């Protein structure tokens, strides 16, 4: 089996790359290790920019996102009303619809097929896919998330400081408590309780999602994160009933250097390339745009030659993705109570009442 492009992983970045490759007439295969639809640990927060740039199907929307509330250690708050509003989505449904769009325009897809490793053979790649055998590809799009097999296979590991550990708990609370946060995304900063960490609460249509994240640089033991989350939950909600718990890594320092975003004819997109806002943990928007940029860079490379890396960086720039480098203001608020208070004051001055 020979393809122009094999896209490894079918989350938002992979599905977007796959769709665009197929639209551009490239013979493309998406390889996904799980049976779809598959869950993805995520708060499901889509800011208005996502709805402006992409179709967000109604079936995926759990609640309208009305605003963001930021809370300082002292309890001081800044509220940012979103007008137009954003959305809180069910990632399992959202991601699956994106993959289906790719298949509709001619991309091929294999599910329950884990890529084990890749090898360079002449000018193409041999992709070793569990249950399928070896697939040949001229280009690879590494869309396999934060635990990227392709990055490991090509010897591009993360540094500890690039990552944050996150934990999320889905809870059922009283109807009154749920209504009080429905459609609101709250973010709590308090370095005195967890250095380098932050907590979020997302009020959804049927339950409430409470999460915690911390830079690996400051985390001595994952248990500390779990304890802080449990203690926060007890104080924030009366008798929360835990429905589900999950833990996952989050890229935390913005995109990798451009020399690590393209290796040979492999392009890294989404979490595998670090395309997450380091101030908010938002990744879906950047995953989708980086996936589209990768497909367009491959197309241009085939049409006009040149440097694949330069073409990808140009496409990323056109899509506003390079602003992701250097968003470090909030990191200081994670390390000092004074900085956290000052950060909330600045947001209030900018109009967050
Ligand atoms: C706790 C948490 C909360 C978050 N909340 C938000 C939020 O509210 N809003 C937001 O915008 N972002 C949020 N994010 C970030 C967002 O989830 C990611 O940025 C986004 O999922 C990245 O998409 P992706 O397609 O690059 O990777 P993923 O969504 O991780 O998809 C990667 C895919 O690759 C597949 N895969 C992996 N390895 C292989 C392999 N070897 N072979 C084949 N397939 C493979 C996986 O099964 C998966 O389907 C959150 C992240 C975390 C951890």
DSSP assignment string, 237-292: SSSPEEEEEEEEEEE-S-SPPHHHHEETTEEE-GGGGT-S-TTT---HHHHHHHHH
pLDDT at 279: 83
36 CA: nearest ligand 1 atom: 49
DSSP string of 186-247, one letter each residue: EEEE-TTTSTTEEEEEEE-SS-EEEEEEEEGGG-S-HHHHHHHHHHHHHHHSSSPEEEEEEE
Distances (CA, A) of 352 to 54, 329, 330, 344: 26, 17, 16, 9
How many helices (H) and strands (E) are present in the chain, helices listed first? 11, 16
Contact 340, 190 (CB under 8 A): yes
In whole numbers, what is the pLDDT of the chain averaged over residues? Answer: 95
DSSP string of 167-180, one letter each residue: EEEEEE--HHHHHH
| pLDDT tens digit sequence for 94-108 | 999 999 999 999 999
Residue 220 has pLDDT above 90, yes or no: no
CA of 305 from ligand 1 middle (Å) equals 31
| pLDDT tens digit sequence for 252-261 | 899 999 999 9
CB distance 203 to ligand 1 below 6 Å: no
Q: Which residue has the tokens 């104080």?
A: 235
Angle, CA of 69, 333 and 280, to the nearest 5°: 55
* Average pLDDT over every residue of 32-61: 97
Pocket probe for ligand 1: among 9, 254, 269, the residue whose CB has the most ligand atoms within 8 Å is: 9
Distance CA 302, CA 308 (A): 9
Residue 353 has pLDDT above 70, yes or no: no
Residue 290 has pLDDT above 80, yes or no: yes
Contact 188, 200 (CB under 8 A): yes
DSSP string of 295-333, one letter each residue: HHHHHHHHHH-S-HHHHHHHHHHHTTGGGGTT--HHHHH
CA of 149 from ligand 1 middle (Å) equals 13
Burial 26-52 (b: 16+ CB within 10 A, else e): bbbbbbbbeebbbebbbbbbbbeebbe
Q: In angstroms, how far is the first alpha carbon of the chain from the final one?
A: 58
| Biggest distance spanned by C-alpha atoms of the chain | 63
pLDDT at 270: 98
Distances (CA, A) of 81 to 85, 177, 184, 283, 284: 8, 20, 9, 21, 21
What band does 315 get if pLDDT is binned at 50, 70 and 90? very high
148 CA: nearest ligand 1 atom: 38
CA 303 to chain CA mean position, Å: 31
pLDDT at 352: 62
Ligand 1, atom 37: closest residue by C-alpha: 144
Q: What percent of the chain has pLDDT over 90?
A: 89
Q: What are 277's two structure tokens?
A: 């806002």
Evaluate whether 2-42+91-156+256-319 and 45-89+160-252+329-349 have a shared fold.
Answer: no
Distances (CA, A) of 6 to 99, 130, 271, 284, 297: 14, 14, 17, 21, 14
* Average pLDDT over every residue of 152-179: 94
**Ramachandran assignment for 351, one of left (phi > 0), alpha (psi -120 to 50 degrees), beta (any other):** left
CA of 314 from ligand 1 middle (Å) equals 24
284 CA: nearest ligand 1 atom: 11
**Ramachandran assignment for 75, one of left (phi > 0), alpha (psi -120 to 50 degrees), beta (any other):** left
Distance CA 12, CA 240 (A): 31
CB distance 202 to ligand 1 below 6 Å: no
CA of 349 from ligand 1 middle (Å) equals 34
CA of 287 from ligand 1 middle (Å) equals 8
pLDDT at 15: 98
Selected from 3.30.390.30, 3.30.428.10, 3.50.50.60, 3.30.1280.10, the CATH number assigned to the domain covering 2-42+91-156+256-319 reads 3.50.50.60
CB distance 276 to ligand 1 below 6 Å: yes
* Average pLDDT over every residue of 240-249: 96
Selected from 3.40.30.10, 3.30.9.10, 3.60.20.10, 3.30.360.10, the CATH number assigned to the domain covering 45-89+160-252+329-349 reads 3.30.9.10
What are the domain boundaries of the chain? 2-42+91-156+256-319, 45-89+160-252+329-349
């Amino acid at each position: 089996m020979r393809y122009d492009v094999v896209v490894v992983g079918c989350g938002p970045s992979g599905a977007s790359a796959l769709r665009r490759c197929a639209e551009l007439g490239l013979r493309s295969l998406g390889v996904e290790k799980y049976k779809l639809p598959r869950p993805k640990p995520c708060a499901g927060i889509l800011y208005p920019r996502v709805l402006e740039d992409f179709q967000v199907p109604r079936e995926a929307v759990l609640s309208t996102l009305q605003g963001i509330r930021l809370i300082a250690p002292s309890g001081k708050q800044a509220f940012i009303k979103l007008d137009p509003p954003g959305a809180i989505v069910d990632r399992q449904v959202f991601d699956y619809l994106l993959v289906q769009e790719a298949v509709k325009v001619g991309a091929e897809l294999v599910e329950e097929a884990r890529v084990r490793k890749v090898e360079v053979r002449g000018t193409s790649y041999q992709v070793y896919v569990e249950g399928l055998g070896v697939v040949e590809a001229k280009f690879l799009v590494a869309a396999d998330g934060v635990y990227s097999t392709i990055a490991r296979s090509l010897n591009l590991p993360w540094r500890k400081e690039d990552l944050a550990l996150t934990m999320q708990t889905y809870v059922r609370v009283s109807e009154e408590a749920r209504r009080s946060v429905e459609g609101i995304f709250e973010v709590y900063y308090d370095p005195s309780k967890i250095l380098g960490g932050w907590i979020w609460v997302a009020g959804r249509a049927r339950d409430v999602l409470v999460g915690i994240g911390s830079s690996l640089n400051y985390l001595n033991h994952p248990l500390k994160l779990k304890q802080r989350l449990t203690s926060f939950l007890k104080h924030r909600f009366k008798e929360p009933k835990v429905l589900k718990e999950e833990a996952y890594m989050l890229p935390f320092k913005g995109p990798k250097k451009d020399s690590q975003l393209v290796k040979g004819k492999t392009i890294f997109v989404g979490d595998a390339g670090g395309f997450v806002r380091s101030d908010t943990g938002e990744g879906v928007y950047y995953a989708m745009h980086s996936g589209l940029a990768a497909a367009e860079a491959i197309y241009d490379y085939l049409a006009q030659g040149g440097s694949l890396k330069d073409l990808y960086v140009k496409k990323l720039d056109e899509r506003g993705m390079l602003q992701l480098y250097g968003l470090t203001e909030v990191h200081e608020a994670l390390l000092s109570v004074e900085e956290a208070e000052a950060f909330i004051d600045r947001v209030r001055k900018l109009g967050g009442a």
